[in-house]
C-alpha cells in the first residue's frame, strides 16, 4: 500500500474501542477500512504503546545496572512492568520472567525442567494446544526416556475429554501442560479438572495463556496454576512474552545461564539484556487493558461472537469447526468453504480487505483430531474488542462471495 494513502477517520469503525489503535486507520486494498481479522496471530497496538516505546528510546535509553539517571529510570521501569504484569495475569510479582516469545520461554523452562525428569516419568499435554506448548515437552521427554500423553479433544463437542484424565495422570506424571484456550477453534479450557488431576499426584501445571490474555483475565494464582506464559503482542503490546511462576518454584530449577547471572529471582532466567523499549510498551499495554477492563472487553466480544455465529449459520457453503455458541469460546473461528482450499479462501478474502490465516495455525494435534488435512487446516479469523459489527459484516460478506457458483 502506498504511504500516501489517506488515513481513515476513526469514525469509519463501529467499535467504540477502535480509536485507540492507529493501525486500524490504514485503508485496505480496495480503499475501504481493512479488517484485520488475524488478532490471534497478533493484535494491533494502542497509540499509548507506541508513545511509551518511543519515549523510552528518546529519554531513558540505558543499561539498568548503573547509577546514573537514565539507568535508574530503566531499572525502575523494569521493576514497575514486572509488578504491573503480575497484576494483569494474577501472578506473584516476584516471579515474572521476560523473554522474546512464549515459544522461547516454554523451551527454556522445559530444558531446565528436563534435568529433573527420570526415565519412565510422563508429561501430560492436550490436543488443544499450540505446538509451542507441545514440541518442547516432546523433545525433553524424548531426551530423558519419558513419555508424553495427550488429553484427547472430542471432535463433536470441541472440548477436551476431561473424563480421560484419571487414565492419563498417574504417580509418574511430573507435569500437566495445557492451553487456556484454543488458538485455532477458540474453545476455552476448563482449568479445574486439569489442576486437580495434577495436584492429586504432585505434578506441576504449566499453562499457555497466549490465546486467552486478550479476552479474559488469566488469574493464575486463583486457579492454582504453577507456571504460565503469555505473549504481549496478542494483548495489544509489542513483540515479547512473559513467564510467571512462584519465585520458590523458579529457584528449584537450574536454567541455562552465564556464570555471573543473578543467583535467584527472574533475572536468573532472563538471558542477556532485555528488550527495554518493548518492556516500556508492555507496561503501556497492561495499563490500557487494566483501564479498559475485561468486563467491557467481554461484553463487546460477546456481541461480535453472536453476530458472527448468526451470520455463519446462514452461509450454507461455510462449515464452522468449533462451538456454535457464544459460551465457552473466544471469538476465534475456524471455518472451511465448500470446494475451495483454505489458502485460496485466505487469499480471496485478502483481496477483499479481510486479513485471515489459513492452515493449522500450529494447533497441529487439534487439526488432526478434527480430521482437517495437515496441509489445509482451516481458515481462521479472530476478533478482539476493537472490532465492530462492520468488521463482522465485512467478513461474512466476503465469505458469502465465495459461494460455489457465486
- Rule CB under 6 A: which residues touch ligand PLP? 40, 101-103, 130, 132-133, 179, 183, 208, 210-211, 231, 241
State in angstroms the smallest separation of the CB of 100 from ligand PLP: 8
| Grid-cell match 494502542, residue found | 46
Q: Nearer to ligand PLP by C-beta: 208 or 226?
A: 208
Taking the C-alpha atoms of residue 8 and residue 99, their distance in angstroms, rounded to an integer, is 35
* Nearest approach, Cβ of residue 263 and ligand PLP (Å): 28
How many Å apart are CA 65 and CA 177, to the nearest integer?
Answer: 35
Q: Rg for the chain (alpha carbons), in Å?
A: 22
Return the number of the residue (8 or 188) whose C-beta is nearest ligand PLP. Answer: 188
Q: How far is the CB of 40 from ligand PLP (least distance, A)?
A: 6
DSSP 211-251: TTTTTS---HHHHT-SEEEEEGGGTTS-S-EEEEE-HHHHH
> In terms of CB distance, is 71 or 101 closer to ligand PLP?
101
187, 156 contact by CB (below 8 A): no
CA distance 101 to 237: 12
C-beta closer to ligand PLP: residue 141 or 184: 184
Nearest CB to ligand PLP, comparing residues 20 and 332: 332
| C-alpha to C-alpha distance for 110 and 43, rounded to whole angstroms | 27
Q: What angle do CA 283, 285, 287 make, to 5 degrees?
A: 70
Query: DSSP label at 152?
Result: P
| Cβ closest to ligand PLP, residue 133 vs residue 342 | 133
Cα 3 to Cα 150: distance, rounded to the nearest angstrom: 48
C-alpha cell at 217: 483475565
Indicate the residue among 179 and 364 with the shorter CB distance to ligand PLP. 179
- In the complex with ligand PLP, the residue whose CB is nearer, 101 or 200, is 101
Q: How many CB atoms lie within 10 A of CB 21?
A: 22
Residue 185 CB, shortest distance to ligand PLP, in Å, is 11
Give least dist CB 239 to ligand PLP, A. Answer: 8
User: Is 101 or 116 the residue whose CB approaches ligand PLP more closely?
Assistant: 101
204: helix, strand or coil = strand
CB of 406 to ligand PLP, least distance (A): 32
- CB 18, min distance to ligand PLP, A: 23
In whole angstroms, how close is the CB of 202 to ligand PLP at the nearest point? 26
- Which cell is 396 given? 461474512
Minimum distance from residue 231 beta carbon to ligand PLP (Å): 3
Our measurement of the distance from residue 237's CA atom to the centroid of its chain's CA atoms, rounded to an integer in Å, reads 12
SS (H, E, C) 246-293: CHHHHHHCCCCCCCCCCCCCHHHCCCCCCCHHHHHHHHHHHHHHHHHC
CA neighbor of 131 nearest in space, from 366, 363, 374 = 363
Residue 21 vs 206, nearer CB to ligand PLP: 206
State the Cα–Cα distance between residues 27 and 22, nearest whole angstrom: 11
32, three cell numbers: 475501504
Shortest distance, CB of residue 108 to ligand PLP, whole angstroms?
11
Within 8 A by CB and 6+ apart from 250, the residues are 95, 97, 264, 265, 266, 268, 269
CB of 211 to ligand PLP, least distance (A): 4
Query: Is 121 or 360 the residue whose CB approaches ligand PLP more closely?
Result: 360
In the block, residue with C-alpha cell 495455525: 361
Amino acid at each position: 500500500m502506498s504511504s500516501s494513502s489517506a488515513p481513515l477517520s476513526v469514525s469509519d469503525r463501529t467499535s467504540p474501542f477502535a480509536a485507540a489503535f492507529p493501525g486500524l486507520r490504514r485503508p485496505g486494498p480496495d480503499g475501504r477500512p481493512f479488517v484485520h481479522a488475524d488478532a490471534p496471530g497478533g493484535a494491533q497496538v494502542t497509540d499509548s504503546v507506541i508513545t511509551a516505546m518511543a519515549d523510552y528510546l528518546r529519554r531513558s535509553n540505558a543499561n539498568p545496572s548503573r547509577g546514573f539517571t537514565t539507568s535508574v529510570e530503566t531499572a525502575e521501569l523494569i521493576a514497575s512492568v514486572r509488578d504491573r504484569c503480575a497484576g494483569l495475569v494474577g501472578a506473584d510479582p516476584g516471579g515474572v520472567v521476560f523473554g522474546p516469545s512464549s515459544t522461547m520461554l516454554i523451551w527454556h523452562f522445559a530444558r531446565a525442567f528436563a534435568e529433573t525428569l527420570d526415565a519412565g516419568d510422563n508429561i501430560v499435554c492436550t490436543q488443544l494446544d499450540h505446538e509451542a506448548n507441545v514440541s518442547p515437552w516432546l523433545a525433553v521427554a524424548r531426551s530423558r526416556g519419558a513419555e508424553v500423553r495427550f488429553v484427547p479433544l472430542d471432535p463433536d463437542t470441541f472440548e477436551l475429554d476431561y473424563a480421560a484424565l484419571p487414565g492419563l495422570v498417574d504417580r509418574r506424571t511430573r507435569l500437566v501442560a495445557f492451553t487456556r484456550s484454543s488458538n485455532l477453534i477458540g474453545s476455552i479450557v476448563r482449568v479445574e479438572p486439569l489442576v486437580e488431576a495434577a495436584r492429586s499426584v504432585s505434578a506441576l501445571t504449566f499453562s499457555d495463556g497466549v490465546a486467552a490474555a486478550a479476552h479474559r483475565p488469566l488469574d493464575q494464582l486463583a486457579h492454582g496454576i504453577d507456571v504460565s506464559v503469555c505473549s504481549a503482542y496478542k494483548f495489544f503490546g509489542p513483540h515479547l512474552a512473559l513467564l510467571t511462576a512462584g519465585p520458590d518454584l523458579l529457584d528449584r530449577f537450574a536454567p541455562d545461564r552465564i556464570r555471573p547471572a543473578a543467583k535467584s529471582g527472574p533475572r536468573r532466567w532472563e538471558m542477556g539484556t532485555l528488550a527495554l523499549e518493548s518492556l516500556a510498551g508492555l507496561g503501556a499495554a497492561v495499563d490500557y487493558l487494566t483501564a479498559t477492563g475485561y468486563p467491557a472487553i467481554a461484553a463487546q466480544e460477546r456481541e461480535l461472537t453472536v453476530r458472527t455465529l448468526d451470520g455463519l449459520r446462514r452461509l450454507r457453503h461455510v462449515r464452522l469447526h468449533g462451538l456454535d455458541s457464544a459460551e465457552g469460546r473466544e471469538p476465534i473461528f475456524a471455518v472451511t468453504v465448500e470446494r475451495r482450499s483454505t489458502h485460496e479462501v485466505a487469499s480471496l478474502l485478502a483481496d477483499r480487505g479481510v486479513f485471515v490465516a489459513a492452515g493449522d495455525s500450529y494447533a497441529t494435534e487439534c487439526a488432526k483430531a478434527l480430521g482437517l488435512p495437515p496441509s489445509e487446516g482451516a481458515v481462521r479469523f479472530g476478533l478482539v474488542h476493537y472490532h465492530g459489527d462492520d468488521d463482522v459484516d465485512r467478513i461474512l460478506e466476503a465469505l458469502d462471495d465465495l459461494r460455489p457458483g457465486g
